[in-house]
Each structure stands twice: as structure tokens, then as C-alpha cells.
């Protein structure tokens, strides 16, 4: 276990390397974690690694005291009972509405015609909430793979997706029509751990903030 006495959920994928850099700043040695692609649990240093979308599940259940995941995950899983403690600033992406270049803006058309816009996304709750808040009806089509394919094949008129640079959208002749939210890495905590291990968690927050 680490010197804080905390179990930390660390996201694999794009946030993995910068999160381990943050872990190093806490004085926790992440060398073993970096060296093992397949191992998931590192009990010696109190780290468990997983998909970013699973971090809130483990933290809410108390299987991890604290964790790091993207704001996009927290938006999509807003029902999770976790405390969001700190915006860590890295892993910056933007949640956007995009559609095929040269076509009319389907979101604007839906508003003008009071019609329903078909939208593909990996973030059905976020997409539904956005279109409801902006006074439009959307038929949400949840997809697991490459969202960019959906409007190109005529499955949908638009997509809601996360983009860092916009390169993938441009390569697939899609343009951003609306920006929903900026997503960065966030530190979250289990509510019970936040009370019982308050001193340790406060030390983590102060170190990461510094």
C-alpha cells in the first residue's frame, strides 16, 4: 500500500501516462505499473488500473478510495454517487455535435422544422440531455465503434462525440456544428472514504493542486 493508505483507480488508455505522472508527483512509485501492460492490480502501491468508464463504478462501490477519469465519463454517468474533487487539467477534449461537411446543419434544421434529428453516439445520456436542453428532439442511436461512420453511411444525420484535435472528424469530412462541453481529467472520491480518510485525501488534493 502507498504512504497515503489509499486505493487509487487509474484509467488505461489516453489518460494513463499523464495520470501516472501525477501519481509520481504524489511520491508513489509507478514504475511497476508502467512496466506491466497486462497486470491490473498493483497492491504494493495501492493502484488498480481499468478502463476510464469503469473508474466511477469502482470508486462508488468503495473498491477504490479515489480515482481519476475524464469529465466526459462523469457527465455520462451522472447518477454515480462519487465526489468530484479536482480538475487535473490534462487530457483536454471537447464534446461536440458534428455532421457531414457541405450538408445543412441538422441541428439547426431540426429546430427550424420542429423535426427529429437522428444522432449516433457513445454518450447517449449526454447527447439526449443536450438536445433536450436546447429545445430539440433527437433520436439517439448508440454505437460502440467508430461513430464517424454513422453519418457517412446515412444511418444518422449527426454525431455527438469527443474530439481532441478534430483530425479524425476532418479526415472523415465531418465538421463541428456545436460544442457541448470541455472534458479534462478529474479526481473523484468515494463518499465514505472522503469522510473516513479525509486527511489522506486532502493531502492528495493539495499535492496534485500544487
For residue 175, the tally of other CB atoms under 10 A from its CB is 15
Residues 112 and 208 sit within 8 Å (Cβ to Cβ): no
**Residue 176: predicted pLDDT:** 97
Average pLDDT over residues 56-82: 98
Give the per-residue pLDDT at 115: 78
Q: What are phi and psi of 122, to 5 degrees?
A: -95, -5
Q: How large a percentage of the chain has pLDDT more than 70?
A: 99
CA angle 202, 206, 210 (to 5 degrees): 170
Confidence at 112, pLDDT banded by 50, 70, 90: confident
pLDDT at 187 over 90: yes
68-72, 186-190, 200-204, 206-210: least confident range = 206-210
Q: Do domains 8-91+184-209 and 93-183 have the same CATH topology?
A: yes
CB atoms within 10 A of CB 139: 13
What the block records as the C-alpha cell of 13 is 488508455
Q: What is the per-residue pLDDT across 77-87, written as a single tens digit (0 to 9) for each?
A: 999 999 999 99
pLDDT digits (tens, 9 = 90+) for 81-108: 999 999 999 999 999 999 999 998 888 8
CB-CB neighbours of 170 under 10 Å: 13
Confidence of residue 46 (pLDDT cuts 50, 70, 90): very high
Residue 69: its pLDDT value, please?
98
* CA separation, residue 161 to residues 108, 123, 145 (Å): 18, 7, 11
pLDDT for 111 beyond 80? no
Split at pLDDT 50, 70, 90, the class of 110 is confident
Mean predicted confidence (pLDDT) in 36-47? 94
**DSSP bridge pairs for 186:** 69, 87
Share above pLDDT 90 across residues of the chain, in percent, rounded to a whole number: 91
Q: Does 36 have pLDDT greater than 80?
A: yes
Q: Write down the architecture of domain 8-91+184-209 according to CATH.
A: 3-Layer(aba) Sandwich (3.40)
Where exactly are the structural domains of the chain?
Answer: 8-91+184-209, 93-183
In this structure, how many other beta carbons lie within 10 angstroms of the beta carbon of residue 82? 22
Report the pLDDT value the prediction gives residue 210, as an integer from 0 to 100.
82
Q: Are 90 and 13 in contact (CB under 8 A)?
A: no
User: Looking at domain 93-183, what is its CATH homologous superfamily?
Assistant: Periplasmic binding protein-like II (3.40.190.10)
- pTM of the shown model: 0.92
Give alpha helix (H) positions in 37-196. Answer: 55-61, 71-76, 106-113, 124-133, 149-152, 167-171, 191-196
pLDDT at 82: 98
> What's the whole-number mean pLDDT along residues 43-63?
97
Amino acid at each position: 500500500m502507498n504512504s497515503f493508505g489509499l486505493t487509487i483507480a487509474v484509467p488505461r488508455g489516453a489518460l494513463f501516462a499523464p495520470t501516472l505522472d501525477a501519481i509520481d508527483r504524489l511520491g508513489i512509485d509507478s514504475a511497476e505499473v508502467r512496466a506491466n501492460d497486462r497486470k491490473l492490480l498493483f497492491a504494493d502501491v495501492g493502484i488498480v488500473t481499468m478502463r476510464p468508464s469503469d473508474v466511477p463504478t469502482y470508486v462508488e462501490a468503495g473498491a477504490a478510495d479515489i480515482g481519476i477519469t475524464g469529465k466526459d465519463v462523469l457527465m455520462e454517468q451522472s447518477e454515480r454517487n462519487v465526489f468530484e474533487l479536482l480538475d487535473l487539467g490534462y487530457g483536454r477534449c471537447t464534446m461536440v455535435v458534428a455532421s457531414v461537411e457541405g450538408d445543412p446543419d441538422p441541428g439547426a434544421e431540426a429546430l427550424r422544422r420542429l423535426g427529429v434529428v437522428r444522432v449516433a453516439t457513445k454518450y447517449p445520456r449526454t447527447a439526449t440531455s443536450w438536445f433536450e436542453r436546447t429545445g430539440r428532439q433527437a433520436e439517439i442511436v448508440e454505437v460502440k465503434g467508430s461513430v464517424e461512420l454513422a453519418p457517412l453511411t446515412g444511418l444518422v444525420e449527426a454525431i455527438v462525440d469527443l474530439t481532441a484535435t478534430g483530425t479524425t472528424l476532418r479526415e472523415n469530412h465531418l465538421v463541428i456544428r456545436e460544442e457541448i462541453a470541455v472534458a479534462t481529467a478529474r479526481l473523484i472520491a468515494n463518499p465514505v472514504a472522503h469522510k473516513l480518510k479525509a486527511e489522506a485525501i486532502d493531502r492528495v488534493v493539495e499535492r496534485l493542486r500544487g
